[in-house]
Structure 1
């Protein structure tokens, strides 16, 4: 019995409850739901994510893998639904770029996605899902009296590749910027400039289409492209395939302190890399260790190599400011 795990699942229930409260608040502010669900990229993306999750959960039920069922539902609700979809919806519903009918369609998608998510999670958290499902019954208008006797989600669907890939791209770019902000202790309230370099035409089109979303999610004052042959200011750099995402550092960091922090990280990662390499080069260890552990170590070894390359670039950029 682990009290911290109990606290974690309590926080999880609170997270789901607060997401439902947000939707309820929007329903009280915007008069009515749209006749149809929104066809915005974010709404098509979350529906595809939910279908993907429900397919996995049904497979794990067939295999009696209740641990994987719980983890899969937890990951979807916490990460995809709450941390991304709800946050993206907040931006759109408060934006003046969307007409009232478009906002009603977004709300229809929010309610529909929440209702199906509650049905998916019901077997592992029956009470809170039943309560929320009943609260929204006037909106989702299910023909069933209870979530317990509703159909369990198990619809096979083809993922709409363009919209799905677009939002996954936005997530990666935003996550990269957030990671740099977090590592360098850049205040969330500080609006910063981000530069984009290299990449391809698809990156340029996506950055134009989703510029407002990226700026809002990342706390940017602007997002600009620079040409490949342009000289770049000393910057923290994140890579997404060939696309470079740069945050100019001047005025954002204490240079000496940041250099020391990065050097400490490099030292720690090199020590960890040495330890893993010793294990992977030990034939006795490889022959006796579970295959799953060996694969984990190999994956971690690759991750460390990538992290060290990025930190090496970071040190060179910081030194330009000294």
Structure 2
């Protein structure tokens, strides 16, 4: 079996991610598993319902993969959930509540209970694949059983499924990603904060965005989120998962260093574009390569051209 050093480094990085995320959780969790109160799902925030729904879907997918002896699919599903949903998004979303930047003491207590439950179930799901680190961390959670090895393996529960929470939080994630990308493309730094306008025609969606605008302020580093306001001329407009957004940029002073950095990025992108154009001009490549590969190269070609145009606008 081929052993790739880079893959081993990736697995080590994942173990480190599990350890650091668990350490963050343990700093804030003040209740042991054996004495934790049951979670009233009807009293949870959209963020909490979202992460429990995503964990439930992950649990369903992992059990299905294990039943089919697809251990590769099961491990990859857990990797994607823990790293990209639990660590990259959920922990960042819950920080404002845990660090007393948003919400009440009651909100904080609920956030701690959900964090404990999600970490517990995640560790139990991961245990067959990473037994030692999950056992070490789980022992710190104060469970009733003497070992994680004898705890029940999680199964999906229909009551935890919440497609509406998934849809709304997915929109928050997508809007955040767009704002971050546009900020970088225009040469702004994370220190530069600006106003975001969001159009929500449905009353329920407008209420959600008002209640959870703090997430966008925190995650996308904004000064303010305006719901259904009138954006000024010159704002950057986009449509993200059905929501029309407009980013109101401040007057920007471009320093020589920023201009030089932008020029280097343009030259780097042009070099990749030239290489790709030569590849697409090769008749043998077009004739022999799988159609999916050719389409991917053509799509990348369009992306690079668009990126150069955006970078040139920043000069």
1:274 aligns to what?
277
CA gap of 1:55–1:197, structure 2 versus 1, over 3 A, is closer
1:295 aligns to what?
292
Between the aligned partners of 1:163 and 1:128, the Cα distance in structure 2 is 31
Give the stretch that moved more between structures: 114-123 or 213-222: 213-222
1:219 aligns to what?
221
* Aligned counterpart for 2:121 among listed residues 94, 107, 116: 116
CA gap of 1:253–1:163, structure 2 versus 1, over 3 A, is farther
Query: Is residue 251 of structure 2 the alignment partner of residue 250 of structure 1?
Result: yes
1:88 aligns to what?
93
* Post-superposition CA distance 1:193-250 (Å, at most 9, x none): 033366644765443222111111122222346536x4125x5x66525624425263
CA gap of 1:136–1:296, structure 2 versus 1, over 3 A, is farther
TM-score by length of 1: 0.78
* Aligned counterpart for 1:36 among listed residues 36, 39, 42: 39
2:240 aligns to what?
240
Give the stretch that moved more between structures: 296-305 or 5-14: 296-305
Between the aligned partners of 2:294 and 2:286, the Cα distance in structure 1 is 14
Query: Is residue 73 of structure 2 the alignment partner of residue 71 of structure 1?
Result: no
| Deviation of 1:76 (Å) | 0.9
Query: Is residue 118 of structure 2 the alignment partner of residue 107 of structure 1?
Result: no
* Post-superposition CA distance 1:298-320 (Å, at most 9, x none): 3564465356446545645x37x
> Does the 8 Å CA contact 1:23/1:111 hold for their aligned counterparts?
yes
CA gap of 1:3–1:88, structure 2 versus 1, over 3 A, is same
1:22 aligns to what?
24
* Post-superposition CA distance 1:101-126 (Å, at most 9, x none): 22111111111111110111011100
> Does the 8 Å CA contact 1:121/1:129 hold for their aligned counterparts?
yes
Between the aligned partners of 1:246 and 1:272, the Cα distance in structure 2 is 34
Give the stretch that moved more between structures: 269-278 or 121-130: 269-278
| Deviation of 1:89 (Å) | 1.4
| Deviation of 1:150 (Å) | 2.1
Between the aligned partners of 1:85 and 1:280, the Cα distance in structure 2 is 47
CA gap of 1:36–1:54, structure 2 versus 1, over 3 A, is closer
SS at match of 1:243: strand
Gaps of 5+ in 2: none
> Does the 8 Å CA contact 1:43/1:106 hold for their aligned counterparts?
yes
| Deviation of 1:78 (Å) | 0.9
1:162 aligns to what?
164
